[in-house]
Each structure stands twice: as structure tokens, then as C-alpha cells.
Chains A and B, each alone.
Chain A
Amino acid sequence: MEERIKVSNLAKRFGTFTAVHDVSFTVHENEFFSLLGPSGCGKTTTLRCISGLEQPTEGEIYISGQLVTSPEKKVMAPPERRGIGMVFQNYAVWPHMTVEQNMSYPLRVARKPREQVNAKMAYLTDLLELKGLEERYPSELSGGQQQRVALGRALSTDPKVMLLDEPLSNLDAKLREQMRFELKDLQRKTGISILYVTHDQVEAMAMSDRVAVMNAGAVVQEGAPHDIYANPTDKFVADFIGTMNFVPGTVLSATQEGARVRLHSGVEVSIQGTSPKTGSCILAIRPEDILLGAERGADCEVDVRIFLGNVTEYRVRIGEDLLRVQTNASVRLEPGDRARAVIQHALIFPE
């Protein structure tokens, strides 16, 4: 597979503050790749370095095999020569231009013949469902429409690479969910490589082929969404991706099949997951990995019940620890009820 974006050992320092530190990753053709992390983790800075809007302190960036940024070799291609499309968080749709003028701008800058511009505009307004709005100004459009104009502008020159900087964060919840499908669909239709920056793990999980989780300026884990969800390599990723219960305890015995762990309250639980070693540890348990209402298992007391529609979430007390548990609607317990809980799967992190 062809490499579309290659970032190696990227670092960006603002004075004494290190925003990005030793970041490397590769985005292949036709791939939807997300940089995921909390605000301030350096994901936007990384994206801006790739776009050429920001100059890194160290490292190299290749786009479609061509070196575009390298402070060591004094290479810094200006953003307009990189041939990439970009969608900004606030869309950055020009308020003084109509929908059509906004979307056709890159083509006009490139001096494309009029017929080609018109054909492209017809295709894009159709693809993005903006037909009939060509003469409108951005102030006359909804947030979702403005966003599609920004997408259309980024797509108009058929770039091989597109950068998206939290493009959905300004939309309301319903529209956001709908746009997730549309973006994914768009990527499949156009065969473009997308580098997507977001702090919303659900968004990243839903759309990406691969995800790089960033924290404090560095990539902490990279992989397919389900891999990262199932096997977070450290506590930060485990906490950031999905919901996780963290319970301190001591591993008493460990085999290939499972482990016996004593929680600090003295309650002993059997874990069907694997454990590397015995001793003090932190257990990481997904709410859906705890089975409530079984015959055996640890004794627990229901503290709070929250009805979420397709699932019901309980907060239960096992010994002194409060854990979140998700069950399907068939389990019906009331606050104060006692039940048995089986921990079906857990990850064990060193303390």
C-alpha cells in the first residue's frame, strides 16, 4: 500500500513548552486514520505541522512520498504547495463568498477552465446535497450546511490527502452522528486518505481504520479501533477509550486461564482474563464485562440504577469498591438489592 502521509520523529516546542514529542506514524492510501486524545495532547499541532501552517522544531514529514517538512534539511513547503485538502474545526467558510465561490475557490486559484469548474461544482453540490444553495452566503446556511461547504472546498481539487480538524465538534448531537456515516461514506466513494483529529473517542472508533491515541505530546498507542478498545496498553488509554472501572487489588494466583485477585476490601474475585504476575495491581474492568444476577460470583449491593434504553447501567458496591455495570434490560434490580457479580474479563495493570 502506498504511503500518503509519513511523519517521523516530529517534535514541536513553543519556547520551553513541548507540544509534540517524537511523534511518528504513517497514513496509507484509502485509509481513515485518526489522531485521538484529550485537548492539549498535541494532536492539532501535529495536524498543523502536516498542513504546513506550523513549522515543527524537529522531524520529517512526507506527503505522497515527497519530503515537505524537515527543519534539519531546511525544507518547508508552503501550505498551498502541498496539495492537501483541509477542513477546519470552525469550518472557516469565507463569509464574503457564496457557497459556490467558496467551493470553487481552490479550482479558480489553480486556474482550471470554466467547464471543469462547473462540472466539479455540479458533482460536489450533488454529493454533498447542497443543490439549490449555490448562491447563498454562509450566514444563510445552517451549521451542517456550512460544514459540507468546507468539505466541498477541501475536496474540489481531488486531493489525495485530506486533513480534518475536529470537524464535527460544532454540530449538535443528532447531526454529528449522521455526519459520521456521511464522512465514512464520502471517504469510500472518493478513495481519499483522511487524517482525522478528534477528542471524541466514539467518533474515532466509529470511523477510523486505524487510530493513534495521543497524550502529553506523544503517541501512546496505535492500532485498529477494536484492538485499542480490547487491549489498551496502559492505564491512560484504558481510561480514555470507552468506560472503565479501575479497582486496586492484589493478584493472588495467576494461570493461563484466569487469575484470583483480592480487592483491598478483602473480597476475592476470580478473573477470567490473563495476568502477567502476582502482587499489587490495578484491575481495569469494562462495565459490560461484569455479569450481574449470576448464581455464583462476588456478593454485591445495588447502589444506583440508570435506565439508558437499550441497556441499563448499575452502580454496585463490591466490598468497598463502587463499580459501573452495564446489563441488558432483562436484568431488573432495585437499589438496595443484593446480587452476585461475575467479572468476565479484566485487564491487570501494575500499580
Chain B
Amino acid sequence: MNTVKATIGRSIDIRYVLMILIGLFFLAVIVHPLSLVIVKSFSSEAGFTLSNYVRIFSQDANVKAFWNSIWVSCLSTAVCVVLGTLLAMLIVRTDMPGKSWLRMLLLLPYGIPPFIGAMAWAQLFGPVGYVSKLYMNCTGAMSAPWRIYSAGGVVLVLAIYQFPVVFITVSGALGRIDTSLEEAARMSGSGPFRTLIDVTLPLITPAITASALLAFVGCISNFGIPALLGFRARFFVLTTRIYSALSIPDMPLATAMAVMLAITSGVPLVLARRLERRQSRYTVIAGKSVRPQTMNLGAWRTPIFVIVVIVSLFAGVVPLISMLLTSFLKYWGAPLRFANMTTGHYRYILNLPMVTRAFRNSAFLAVASATITMAVGALVSYMSIRAKIKGAKTLDFVGTIPYAVPCTMVAISMILAWSRPPVMLYGTIWVILAAYLVRYMPFSIRTTNATLQQVHVSLEEAARVSGAGWAQTMRDVVMPLIRPGLVAGWILVFMPALRELTMSVLLWSQGAETMGVVIYNMQDAGYSQIAAALSTVVLLVILAGNAVVRKLTKGEVSM
């Protein structure tokens, strides 16, 4: 009896030690830096003050940036909702041809980094962009009637890169609706349209609302798009205004604005979570699955199909082609002829020390952050879901806090925490790594939670009953079962880390550039083709990574 007790006691001890270590790690890397931002935003040299916030609402430029953020995000979200819901309905519930292809095309923008997307849209619709020139050639006008470098351009491009969130969520909800609910409405005397209004729409409203909130958060915390399309028009939003404040540097103002940003993006996230939970009210006994009835578009089939194809192409394929073309063009604005094509930009970037350094840095950062966050995430998940150790739920919570924190605020917190003794990381690549760890920790905990939940505890118990110890059970049963999920999760952190911009652009220093920073700086300095060539390389890596993830998870996960 005694020996049995002793072994149980020892294994729990190990887990507690691990838990305390992770707890300390979270305190140092997540809690302390983030709380520094809040403290700093309320302090001056004299002590506690509200003056930083007063400055936001008393200085014209700051107020304007704040309201710009709000209305731009609201408008983009509205576009996302209309576009995403309409497309989801058309693709899930009508007899439109080529649905699976269109779905893939529409999800493409989800995998393209927004700032690269913004560059592509500038190439297409800028003053001498491909589409603008086509328009001028066709009409003989001196300039195109649109301006991509404007508030409108920011709204449009933000919407293009956020609507997949709505599209995916609403398509999923539409596919899950028990079709007998709609059939019951038909049997009650409602026509197809009335059924849509009375039954289908109310049933997917929670999905629409939740995804709209997420889209809003995506818009308001985005930096790349308003930076690349807004700076030139002197159009500022919170994220770009914080960027300017940091380059002065005006730390107190930057921290106060970061807190404002965190509040405006955190509240919708909390609301979205609530909605998800409330949706349980909408779950009803599942019936036998009948294929969802598809609506006959009739004479509208072809025109609607053409419109959807155009929208899908412009969402993903056209920007990619534009990027590719630009990367081969001898000089920006040159007519599109074969004679004007060159591989020079690729040769140039391959010989640029800064580029090879950035590649190395980004690769290192992506590998390190993916590995560390997945390892910590797996441990946290195991302790909170499986071992159900007291306190592990708190770790889970703390680890997922950064999900509600905009990248900009994470970056500022890193500057505050790591730029003074005893640990001076600011100015090195390590501060970027720390930021990535904070930012991606929630994602890895979520993946590992989901993965672990799929492995029923009885499988583990069966191994224990068969005589395997805890460690052997982990090695022989748990690890093999969760490995595909872990690998997919690893790549899901690796990919966005590889092309991260918002945090690295605030934290980089000479020698510690990332790919995102180099592309951004090249574009900012006017070297569009160099930026395009770099972007093309990054996009290729992303596409390859996406294919790997799809293969590993059999299509369940993609970016």
C-alpha cells in the first residue's frame, strides 16, 4: 500500500513544480508587462494622473484618430457582414455552380497577410495602378475616379481581409441548421422568402453577430492596412497614431492610446464569447440529416454567378497576380510587356544582407515562438483538462488573456518591461520573441485544449489499467493521438509569426529586422518592386505551409 501511495505522491509533485514554473513564466512575460502599460498610462513624473487620457480627448489629432478607428472599423464590419452573409447564403443554399472552387477562392484572403494585401490593392488601384491605367486607357480620362490612398481605401481593404471571418462562421451556421426547421415553416404556409426572414435569419443571427464582433476587432487592431494606405493621405487611426507617438517617442500618450485600443477591441471580444455561450439556447434535438434544400436561382443564376466569381477573384487571385507581376516589372509604372520583365529584383534581394538576415530572423522567431508556445500550451492544457489540477484553470485563463490584447499594446508592454535593467532585451531580437510568445500563447492553448478534448480520457485510463505508468501512457497513447493536432497548431503559430508586422515594426532594431519589417520599410521607402518580390516569396511559403496543414488535418484546419 505504502509504495503505491508514494508513486502517486511523487507524480503530482512534478506536475505542481511545472505548474509553478509556468505560472512564474506567465507572470513575467504576460501579466507584468501588460500591467505596466496600464500603470504607465495613469502616471506622470509626479505620480498618478489622468492627464494622458485627457490628452487623447483634448488634442484634435488624437480625438480624430480615435473616431477614425471607430467609424472605419464599423463601416468595414458592415461591409464584411453584408458581403460575408450574402456570399455564405449563395454558396451554401443555392444551386450556384462551382461552389467548392468559389469557397476556396473566397477563403484565400484569410491566408494573405493584410499589409501585403494592402500593397497589392495599391498596385491595382493606386494612381498608376494596373486597374487605374486600364480605366484611363479605356475612357481616356486623365486619372481614375477613385483614390486607394484614402479612408475609403482603408475601409475597403480592411473589409476584404476581414470578411472571410463572417463568411466562414455564417456558412458553418447555415450548414448546421436543422433543415426541418425551415421545412416546418414551409408546411406552416410560409413561402421561401418568408421562411428565410422568419426562420433562417433569426437562427444564424448569433453567428452573424459573433463574427461581426470578431471582424470589428480585426479591423480596429489592424496596423498594416491603415499604415500603407492611410499615412499618405494623412489619415490616422489609433494603431497608426500609436506608431507615430512611439517614434517621437511619447510613451505616456502611446500607453494611454493603447489602453483605449485594448478597451474598444476587448469589449466586443467579451461580447462575442458571451454570444457563443448563449447559442446553446439554439441547439435543439438533431434530426436525421436531410440534405439542405438549395434554392433555385432560376434566371438569376448566371448573373449572380458572374458577380460572385468577380468578387472572389478580386478577393484573392487578382492581388496575388498583381504582386507577382510587380515583382518582375523593371520599374514601377512601366507598361506591362514581356520586354519590361526582369528577374533583377529577386537577384537583388537575394544579395542584400539585410534580407537574408531578416529571413533568418523571421524563421528563427517563427520556429522558436511556435515551439515554445506549443510546449507550454500542451502542458497547460494537460494540467487543466486532464489532470484537473487546482490552479491550472487560472493558468489557462492567464495564458489566453493576450487574445483580447491588440498587438500594438503587446509591443508597447514589451518596450516598457524589457528596456531597463535587470533584463535589457529591447534592441535585440529577444524582445520580438517575447512579444510573439505573449501574442501566440492564446492560440496554442486553444489548439492544445481542442486537441486534448478529442482524446477521450478512457483511452488514457485503459493504458494505466494495462500497467503503463504516467510517463509511458503519455509516450505510448497520448502523444501519438495528439501529435497531428500539435503539428497543425505549431504551423498555425509558425505561419503568422513568419510574416508578422504590427509588433515587429514597433520593436525591430538594426540587425533584428523581420520579413514583415523589411517589406514594410521597402514599400514605405518607395521600392515597390523589391517589396513585391519579398512578398511573393513570403506568400509562396504561406501557400506551401497551408497545403501542409491541410494535409495534416485532412482539410479541417487552414489559414
**Residues of A participating in the B interface, judged by any CB pair closer than 8 Å:** 51-53, 78-80, 84-86, 88-96, 105-106, 109-110, 137-139, 143, 146, 150, 153-154, 157, 170
Contacts and interface: CB of A to CB of B under 8 A. Distances in A.
A291 to B, nearest CB: 43
Nearest to A84: B187
A150 B383 CA distance: 45
A94 B186 contact: no
Contacts of A84: 187
13 contacts: A51-B183, A78-B186, A78-B191, A86-B183, A88-B183, A88-B287, A91-B285, A93-B284, A94-B185, A95-B203, A95-B282, A109-B188, A170-B285
Contacts of A95: 181, 203, 281-284
A96 B202 contact: yes
Nearest to A85: B187
B188 A92 contact: no
B198 to A, nearest CB: 8
B184 A53 contact: no
Contact of B203 (A85, A96, A109, A150): A96
A90 B187 contact: no
A63 to B, nearest CB: 13
A86 B281 contact: no
A93 B178 CA distance: 10
A251 to B, nearest CB: 44
A204 B370 CA distance: 61
Contacts of B280: 139
Contacts of A137: 281
Q: Which 3 A-B pairs have the closest CB atoms?
A: A90-B287, A106-B188, A92-B184
Nearest to B182: A92
* Most chain A beta-carbon neighbours within 10 Å: one of B180, B187, B280, B293: B187
Interface in B288-302: 288, 293
Interface of B: 178, 180-181, 183-192, 194, 198-199, 202-203, 280-288, 293
A106 B184 CA distance: 10
Contacts of A86: 183-184, 187
Contacts of A106: 188-189
Contacts of A79: 183, 186-187
A197 to B, nearest CB: 12
A110 B189 contact: yes
B183 A89 contact: no
B189 to A, nearest CB: 4
B285 A90 contact: yes
B189 A92 contact: no
Given A90-B287, A94-B181, A109-B194, A153 B281 contact: no
B191 to A, nearest CB: 6
Nearest to A89: B287
B12 to A, nearest CB: 40
A255 B191 CA distance: 63
A325 B178 CA distance: 45
A90 B203 contact: no
A153 B181 CA distance: 12
* Most chain B beta-carbon neighbours within 10 Å: one of A84, A95, A110: A95
A78 B293 CA distance: 13
A45 to B, nearest CB: 10
Nearest to B191: A80
Given A78-B192, A109-B188, 19 more contacts: A51-B183, A53-B183, A53-B293, A79-B187, A86-B184, A90-B285, A90-B286, A90-B287, A94-B181, A95-B203, A95-B281, A96-B203, A105-B198, A106-B188, A106-B189, A109-B190, A139-B283, A143-B285, A157-B188
A154 B199 contact: no
Nearest to B188: A106
A96 B190 CA distance: 17
Nearest to B202: A96
Nearest to A90: B287
* Most chain A beta-carbon neighbours within 10 Å: one of B180, B192, B194, B281: B180
A90 B177 CA distance: 13
A43 to B, nearest CB: 13
A170 to B, nearest CB: 6
* Most chain B beta-carbon neighbours within 10 Å: one of A96, A106, A153, A157: A96
Contacts of B192: 78
Nearest to A166: B288
Nearest to A139: B281
Contacts of B203: 94-96
A128 to B, nearest CB: 16
Given A90-B286, A96-B202, A138-B284, A80 B184 contact: no
Contact of A153 (B178, B184, B186, B284): B184
Contacts of A53: 183, 186-187, 293
* Most chain A beta-carbon neighbours within 10 Å: one of B189, B280, B286: B189
Contacts of A78: 186, 191-192
Contacts of A143: 285
Contacts of A109: 188-190, 194
B281 A92 contact: no
B3 to A, nearest CB: 49
Contacts of A139: 280-281, 283-284
A93 B190 CA distance: 15
Contacts of B202: 94, 96
B287 A92 contact: yes
Contacts of A80: 186-191
* Most chain B beta-carbon neighbours within 10 Å: one of A92, A105, A138: A92
A85 B186 CA distance: 10
Given A78-B186, A79-B186, A80-B186, A92 B180 contact: yes
B448 to A, nearest CB: 31
A78 B203 CA distance: 23
B174 to A, nearest CB: 15
Nearest to A51: B187
Contacts of B198: 105
Contact of B181 (A51, A89, A92, A154): A92
A90 B190 CA distance: 20
A85 B185 CA distance: 11
* Most chain B beta-carbon neighbours within 10 Å: one of A52, A85, A86, A88: A88
A6 to B, nearest CB: 19
Contacts of B183: 51, 53, 79, 86, 88, 92
Contacts of A85: 187
A153 B194 CA distance: 17
A88 B184 contact: yes
Contacts of B199: 94
B201 to A, nearest CB: 10
A216 to B, nearest CB: 19
A343 to B, nearest CB: 41
B190 A92 contact: no
A239 to B, nearest CB: 24
Contact of B282 (A88, A90, A96): A96
B287 A157 contact: no
A150 B192 CA distance: 20
A55 B285 CA distance: 26
B185 A105 contact: yes
A92 B191 contact: no
Contacts of B181: 92, 94-95
Given A80-B190, A95-B203, A154-B187, A88 B285 contact: no
Contacts of A91: 284-285
Nearest to B194: A109
A95 B284 CA distance: 7
Nearest to A143: B285
Contacts of A110: 189
